[in-house]
Structure 1
């Protein structure tokens, strides 16, 4: 979920930002502390997951204390947004580690969480560059398969939580894993991401105070051609900009929670209505959808939601408690 930078040329290559970001060079971040906090009612275990493609993914499994073969617990796999992400989906904003927040909250409610570094990122093996959303979906399925091998995990109570691009990948996983007990889509889209990219680029140019009116209008008019050039250069971009999330959603019957912030300027809040409609059109009877006031694409309180201002957010930058609580309560009702 790379940042959308203010420079107009750099922004073109990064304009997908959290929802639909052009693939950046793979990061090799310094080691992070993934251990459980002192006194937590869960343990944090470092694990490796082998994928059908042959590479291994490094992850952390947070497991409630007392989970056992005799008393197995439900579990989720987290799915990061676009760009090479570590298992916490840390973005360089002080305090922002949304999947660690989620794992902690769920662990305290008796639900296990597997969060993994993206392929080729952090401690995971494999190659990130050139992989598509469909490839990442298979990595998530490998995580689910791993959970099914653990005697402490109840294989009947598994789910996934995806943020940004991860919210597009989650229905792809659910289509192939119809036994999942629930999926959560955070700041996703229903339309092919080409529409979201056009929305982001237009928003970027309209906020760029360095552009004259004439240059701004010219840049906006050239957006379709720029998108075509980006698609031609990148297999991931070609897949993601042409994949139709709504078509996949119509084939999914898994219970689903859809959340977006009202100030999200990367995945338009109106997409919540379209996502809900797509699931319901396919006959899904268990769909919950909400737009949360005052929150940006990161589910952080924000005055305007413009990604170029993320670094101005006061630290620590953390997922707003109401949003986190909605997700945790919804999952607890289905996985416990």
Structure 2
């Protein structure tokens, strides 16, 4: 094995968040990244994308933390309480945890995420001067727009009257909906001075590829955009997955 894999936990607002820290076997201190889950996801994600990516990054010399937001996966809390602001706060606490580890070089920190995790990564990077590199995989540019387009009147009424709606077995609370309408991660990146990689599938039917181009427009020449031909929202083929991980590894080597 070319990496060390440890189960970890840290806390935010008295609730425990669980995950894994992947460390290179070579002497440190190492550059490090936090990897953020998508909507309703966890520290594994479809076709084990996150463990595969974290192990590849660590093998290449970049320590990686993957964890569950509060209310998701193994972490404490309930999903109904999840908000974009709360998940961004979780991400800041994850970076706090990373930079406290003796094996980590606190001057070489990055963050990235899949889908909604990309939105959270962008919001985190814009408000945390420790972040030098940002990678966004099929990122949501504005959750409120997707909510408005995909939510029926019945769901809206349920959220208003009951405080949540059942979305595929997840209790989506009014706080998340309110944050979705008010949060603009693309605009927030005006305060981010680092480099970014944005990767999106050309056949993404969940988050249109146009969202990637919005990030590029905001970041200008500080961002590289890669459109994977034919790829879906979660890059669900071995070829797409390998391409995504290899491109991201090269980006991290160049920018951390």
- TM-score category (smaller protein): 0.7 to 0.9
- Residues 115-154 of structure 1 aligned to structure 2 (within 5 Å): 115-154=66-105
Shift of residue 333 of structure 1? 1.4
Name the one with the larger strand percent.
Answer: 2
What residue is the counterpart of 1:238 in the other structure?
A: 178
Aligned length: 244
Secondary structure (helix, strand or coil) at the match of 2:34 reads strand
Q: Answer yes or no: is the 8 Å Cα contact 1:44–1:62 preserved in 2.
A: yes
Q: Confirm whether residue 87 of structure 1 aligns to residue 47 of structure 2.
A: no
- 2:106 maps to 155
Q: Write out per-residue CA displacement over residues 156-205 of structure 1, whole angstroms, 9 at most, x where no aligned residue.
A: 11111111111111111112212312011111133x32322455x4xxxx
CA RMSD of aligned residues (A): 2.1
Say yes or no: does 1:299 pair with 2:220: no
Cα distance change of structure 1 residues 100 and 319 upon mapping to structure 2, 3 Å threshold: farther
Counterparts of 1:1-336 in structure 2, within 5 Å, are: 40-51=1-12, 53-67=13-27, 71-83=28-40, 85-90=41-46, 96-190=47-141, 192-197=142-147, 201=150, 225=153, 228-229=156-157, 232=160, 233=163, 234-280=174-220, 285-301=221-237, 320-335=241-256
Determine the C-alpha separation between the residues in 1 that align with 2:176 and 2:100: 31
Q: Where does structure 1 differ by over 6 angstroms across 4 or more consecutive aligned residues? A: none
CA distance in structure 1 between the aligned counterparts of 2:132 and 2:182, rounded to whole angstroms = 28
Distance 1:79-1:243 versus aligned 2 partners, 3 A rule = same
- Structure number with higher helix proportion: 2
**Deviation (angstroms), 1:297:** 0.2
Shift of 1:251: 2.8
Query: Offset at 1:62?
Result: 0.7
Task: Report the CA distance between 1:323 and its aligned residue.
Answer: 1.6
- Which residue matches 1:214? none
Shift of 1:123: 3.0
The normalised TM-score by structure 1 is: 0.67
1:122 and 1:188 mapped to 2: Cα distance?
21
**Corresponding residue SS for 2:117:** helix
Match of residue 167 from structure 2 = none
Q: Secondary structure at the match of 1:121?
A: coil
Three-state SS of the structure 2 residue aligned to 1:129 is: helix
1:249 positional shift = 2.4
Q: Unmatched 5+ residue regions in structure 1?
A: 1-39, 91-95, 202-222, 302-316
Once the two structures are TM-superposed, the CA of residue 252 in structure 1 deviates from its matched residue by: 2.1
Task: Mark the structure with the bigger radius of gyration.
Answer: 1
How does the TM-score come out when normalised to structure 2? 0.87
CA deviations over 1:195-229 (Å, ceiling 9, x no partner): 22455x4xxxxxxxxxxxxxxxxxxxxx6745744
Q: Please give the secondary structure, in 1, of the residue aligned with 2:42.
A: coil
The answer to whether the 8 Å contact 2:8/2:21 transfers is yes
CA separation of 1:230/1:236 partners in 2, compared to 1, >3 Å: closer, same or farther?
farther
